[in-house]
Structure formats: structure tokens, C-alpha cells
Structure 1
Amino acid sequence: MTHTRRVRNLVSASSLVLLTAFFVQTAPLPASAAGGLTSPSIVLYDDCDFHPIRFDLELPEYTDGFSADINIYGPDGLEAGSGFVYGDGSDGAGTEEVFMCDDPRPGRYRLQAEVEACDYDYNCFDYVVDGSSFNLRYPRSRTLIKATSGQRHRIAVTVKEERPRGYFTTDSYNTVVLEKKQGKRWARVSRGYTDARGVARFNGPNKPGRETFRARVIFDSDDDVMNSTSRPLTLS
């Protein structure tokens, strides 16, 4: 009688251990889990390019393998780019280059990852990692104005565009507007275009007096470069 009771107790204890282990291994992950997705601000030099995304998927410690779709959502809420990562073990951190194309627009973009994590027994669970947002902008420009004196002032305006390694002179046929200050407002006095060296030239005033000018570059909408205005230049 004692032997039978002892066997029943051992069977019950073993069943409890197995049942507990089963629930530990198959407990579902939350629909949205902690983790991190970050990206630096992006300058849109090209319509199509790869952009670095830093990810930490916070995988469960019993994970044997994982895969994740990393998605970028634009200001309009639509998907603007995606990437795919996978690996073994429970280390779900790294960097992935996500491809963006189809003429992305400036604004705030949001990151999100759809993760599948599997344990050693091939029990797989899906969850979502919400990331931070980042800013995407067009390259900036710089407009520099200077003048040479003589019988008549000559005004030279140099336009430079932001590139990955700094600012470099723009190309030909970009519109430059020369403006003169009249009271508290600026009035357009001339219009020109940059040459092959990124310079637009204007004839300044030939009469005595103190006058202040500035220059603005206006890029075509399909150039995807931000307009800029020079500092004021006073001639006398």
C-alpha cells in the first residue's frame, strides 16, 4: 500500500514538472515587446538608397533562431522601405541597411519590426517591436554673395550644394534672384542663372549711395535641394 502511494506521488510530481516545463516553453510572447529600432537623420542625396537601422529585438533567452521584417513608414503612414534580418541564438541586436526608393519625401519616418522567434523545439511566436522616428530631409544649399568695386559694382553669387563630404559648387542653370532692400522689404531687381562653376553674375549700381542687396537661389522642384538666401551685402 505504501509502495503504490509512493509510485502515485512520483508520477504526479513528474507530470507536474513536465506540465510546468511545457507551459514555460510555449507561453506566448506579448503582441508588442520591448526593444529598440533607431536611425540617424537621413539626407536624401538619391531617390533610391540604403539607410542604416540599428535594431535590438529583445529576444527571449530560450530563442534558438529568429527572423524579422524591419519596415519604415512615411509621414503618410504608408510603407516607404523595408529590410530583413535573421539569426541563431538569442542575440537579436545589430545593424541592417534598409532600402528606400520610390521618391521618398521629406518629413518624419517611423520604424517597426515584425519578429518571429523560435525555441529549440520549433515553437515559434510572433510579436512587434515599435521603434523610434527619424527625420528625412533634402540636401541644403548655401548662397554666397560678394562684390567688386570700380566704375560700376559687379556682384557675384556662388551657390553650393550639400554633399556627403561637404558643400560643393552647384551645376549650371540654377535660378538666382538678386534683391535690394527698400525700407523694411526686399524687392527683386534682377534674375540670373549659375554657370558651370556655380556662379551667377550681376551688374550692381553705378550711382553713389548706400544700398543693400541679397541673393536667393531657387532650385527646380525635381532637383530635390533646399533653397537658400545669402547674407545681406551693403554697397556704397
Structure 2
Amino acid sequence: MRLQAFMLALVASSVLAPVTPAHAAGGAVQSPDGVLWQCHEHNYRYQIELPPGAYGWSADVTISGPDGLEVSTDYLYDDENPTHGTSSFQICSFEMAGRYTVSTDVEWHDYDYNSSSFSLPDAYFKMRDPKTRTSLTAAPRKPRPNAVVKFRVVSKDERPNGYFGTSYASVVLEVKAGNKWKRIGRKSATNQRGVVTLRARYTGGRKAVRARTLGTDSASGSTSRIVKFR
């Protein structure tokens, strides 16, 4: 009877004893989608949650391309970085378009310099090839037959912070002939601000004219709005 009573008391004691949960280290990383343009710094946000008693920490950040190969890295540590904030890594236009992966390994130590480590959940973002924009204006808008019309073409390419004039972009003027577009004159190049002025003679009648920026290995082509003459 004494043995049974002792065992019951022991079971009751183990059931009622409070359990203190261990603080789970963790955090998160987030990076926006972007455009592949030359070599530039691509920002990302991070948050690192350290357990109680952590004295110092560092984080290795690895960025892998769509093919799984490493394309860039970043390194965070307590002397220079808070446990949450914004940092960046370099990415260049010769990398592949597609989905990228951000992997983060955190190492921390206590006051006795005992080290431990953990990994944050992978983050994903997409990089794509830049686009272009083409605009076209004409003067005069109501020319007489045989008059010379000036066409102002502006070509812009997409960059991490928006669209900007493309230096020496290849552009052409086209006139609609039936159901097809026919080139007017030769291919031309924009100046350093992405602008070029072209001239063409108006032969009379209804005409529809557009400008087109030719695509390159790093950017797609684009077409302007149609300017109509009657």
C-alpha cells in the first residue's frame, strides 16, 4: 500500500509540475521582385529573433539563382547591424531571369562564448529582364501634301527605380501599308538622353505612323502610340 501511494504521489507531482517552454530563435527575410539592370544593389528586409542570453550574433545570407547556383552574398553582424532592418546584395543583368532564393544562417553565442546556430525560412523573389517604352510626337499634325514632318522619338528603358532615357537606342519609323507596317528610311540611334528627331515627307492622304525601339539581348523592344494623318 505504501508503494502504491508513493507512486500515485509521484505521478500527480509530474502532472502538476509547470513546464517552461524554451524560447525559439527565428526570424524572417523578405525581398521584393526586381529588374535585371547592369550591376546594382538589390535591397531586402530581415528580422532576427535571438534567444535570451544571446550576447553576439552574425548571419550569412546567400542568394541563389533560378538554376540553384549562388549569385550573391551578404554578411550581417552585431557590431554593424541591428537584429532587424534593411540590407542589400549585388545582382547583375547577366544573371538569369526567374525566381531567386534567399537563404540565411544565423550563428549566436552567449556570455561564455558558447555558440549555437539556426536558419531562417528561405525567402523568394523574382527578377526579370527590363522593358522599354517608346513615345512619338509629330509636327505639324496637319501637314500639306509634300511637306516635311518632324518626328520626335523618345526611347526609355526600365531600371530598378523606374524608366529613364536610353542612350544610343536603335529606333525606326514605320508607316502602315495595308495590314502591314513598312519601315520609313533607315534605322536611327537616340542621343544620350534617349531622344532622336527624324524627318519624313508627307505624300498626302490618310497615313498611320508609329515608332519602334528595337529589342536587345538585355531589354525587350517596344512600340509607340500611332500618330494619324488625314
When normalised by structure 2's length, the TM-score is: 0.71
Structure 1 counterpart of 2:100: 109
Counterpart selection for 2:222 from 211, 228, 233: 228
Aligned to 1:134: 125
* 1:38 is the counterpart of 2:38: no
Match 1:194 to one of 181, 189, 196: 189
Equivalent residue, structure 1, for 2:14: none
Cα pair 2:26 2:48 within 8 Å, conserved: yes
How far apart, CA to CA, are the structure 2 residues paired with 1:114 and 1:123? 17
* Greater fraction strand: 2
Task: Give the secondary structure class of the aligned counterpart of 2:74.
Answer: strand
Residues 177, 188 of structure 1: 8 Å contact kept: no
RMSD value, Cα = 3.1
Counting helix residues as a fraction of each chain, which structure ranks higher? 1
Percent pairwise identity: 34
CA contact (8 A) 1:72 1:80 kept: yes
What are the Cα deviations for residues 166-225 of structure 1, in whole angstroms up to 9, with x where unaligned? Answer: 5443323x3223333455x442323421242521514254132x222222101432xx34
Partner residue in 2 for 1:8: none
* Counterpart position of 1:6: none
In the alignment, structure 1 residue 94 sits paired with structure 2 residue 85: yes
Is contact 1:192–1:202 with CA below 8 Å preserved after alignment?
Answer: no
Q: 1:83 aligns with which of 52, 74, 95?
A: 74
Q: Does 1:203 align with 2:187?
A: no
Aligned partners of 1:97 and 1:138: how far apart in 2? 20
**Alpha-carbon deviation of 1:227?**
2.2
The ranges of structure 1 where at least 4 consecutive aligned residues each deviate by more than 6 angstroms after the TM superposition are: none
Using the size of structure 1 for normalisation, the TM-score is 0.70
Q: CA–CA distance in 1 between the matches of 2:161 and 2:126?
A: 20
Tell me the matched-pair count: 201
Unaligned runs of 5+ in 2: 1-18
Q: 1:51 to 1:167 in 2, by over 3 A?
A: closer
The whole-number CA distance in structure 2 between the counterparts of 1:34 and 1:212 is 61
* Residue 82 of structure 1, CA deviation: 0.3
